[in-house]
């Protein structure tokens, strides 16, 4: 992916989550089955860095479970963070506004005493354009997680749903052209890149990348992790989320 297109897609998603934060949050007031499956594995004293924490639903669920370890939620969307900060009650959650595309630059602000025992990125990586930027972020995650810790991520499998496939839009809707139309040698977009519409609270567009397990396995190895577990969960037939648990090599 060329840098100009990557920047345009980052701006597109930033604009979406700032403009539609409230209507998006209204659809995200429950924990997905795959996330519950992950949380059931915890002891309750882990230090947790939640990348792309959104409206704080994970923090609220941890509070309900009596989680005792420190928690830091990070997101760039102020509308979502305001709701997150209002939610966890007595749980010692902290939140920080930060752009995850700059994670390698801001990682010093996210450090824990002994590094984080658990880092999560639920429904986050599929919004990051280009393999180069994804690797940069994942290498920063590797530097933040404890040697015996784990990184757990999920990615949207929207192509498994006929209803969601119908929401795919042409790139011209976001003023982005296919390489053949632009007459460039460098691919402007990557295989697996899609533009999806949003229909609640007005019309919006989001960039989303559809990962398969092989692609995620490759990213894990290239960023210093090994894949300890993979499973599908959520939505229609339990096929709309691909979860992986990574551990540092």
Q: Per residue in 107-154, pLDDT tens?
A: 988 876 679 999 999 999 999 999 999 999 999 999 999 999 999 999
* 245 within 8 A of 145, measured Cβ to Cβ: no
Which CATH number is 156's domain given? 3.40.50.150
Mean pLDDT of all residues belonging to the chain? 90
| Joined tokens for residue 33 | 């089955």
Largest CA distance in the chain: 57
pLDDT at 153: 98
pLDDT at 90: 66
Q: Per residue in 191-200, pLDDT tens?
A: 999 999 988 7
pLDDT-above-90 percentage for the chain = 72
DSSP string spanning 164-233? HHTTEE-GGGGT---HHHHT-SS-SS-TTEEEEEE-SSS-EEEEEE---HHHHHHHHHHTTEEEEEEEEE
Q: Give the pairing of strands 241-248 and 145-156.
A: antiparallel
pLDDT-above-70 percentage for the chain = 89
First CA to last CA distance, the chain: 28
* 34 within 8 A of 241, measured Cβ to Cβ: yes
pLDDT at 89: 64
| Measured distance CA(93)–CA(90) in Å, rounded | 8
- Binned at pLDDT 50, 70 and 90, residue 219 comes out as very high
Distances (CA, A) of 154 to 83, 165, 210, 225: 22, 19, 11, 15
Q: What's the order of all strands across the beta sheet hosting 193-198?
A: 168-169, 193-198, 204-209
pLDDT at 74: 96
Highest mean pLDDT among 50-59, 171-180, 223-232: 223-232
Element (H, E) at 6: helix 3-19
Number of neighbours of residue 167 by Cβ within 10 angstroms: 17
What residues have CB less than 8 Å from 3, skipping those under 6 apart? Answer: none
Range of the domain at 30: 3-248
Q: Is the pLDDT of residue 92 over 90?
A: no
Total domains in the chain come to: 1
Q: Is the pLDDT of residue 2 over 90?
A: no
């Amino acid at each position: 992916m060329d840098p100009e297109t990557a920047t345009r897609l980052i701006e597109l998603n930033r604009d979406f989550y700032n403009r539609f934060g409230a209507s998006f949050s209204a659809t995200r007031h429950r924990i997905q089955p795959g996330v519950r499956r992950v949380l059931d594995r915890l002891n309750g004293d882990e230090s947790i860095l939640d990348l792309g924490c959104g409206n704080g639903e994970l923090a609220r669920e941890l509070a309900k479970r009596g989680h005792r370890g420190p928690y830091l939620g990070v997101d760039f969307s102020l509308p979502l963070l305001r709701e997150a900060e209002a939610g966890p009650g007595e749980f010692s959650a902290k939140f920080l506004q930060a752009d995850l595309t700059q994670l390698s630059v801001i990682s010093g602000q996210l450090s824990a005493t002994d590094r984080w025992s658990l880092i999560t990125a639920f429904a986050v990586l599929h919004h990051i354009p280009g393999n180069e930027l994804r690797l940069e972020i994942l290498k920063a995650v590797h530097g933040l997680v404890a040697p015996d810790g784990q990184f757990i991520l999920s990615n949207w499998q929207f192509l498994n749903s006929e209803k969601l496939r119908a929401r795919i839009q042409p790139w011209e809707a976001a003023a982005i052209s296919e390489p053949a139309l632009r007459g460039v040698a460098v691919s402007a977009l990557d295989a697996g890149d899609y533009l999806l519409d949003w229909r609640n609270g007005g019309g919006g567009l989001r960039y989303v990348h559809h990962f398969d397990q092989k692609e995620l396995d490759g990213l894990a190895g290239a960023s210093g992790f090994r894949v300890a577990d993979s499973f599908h969960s959520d939505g229609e037939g339990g096929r709309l989320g691909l979860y992986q648990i990574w551990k540092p090599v």
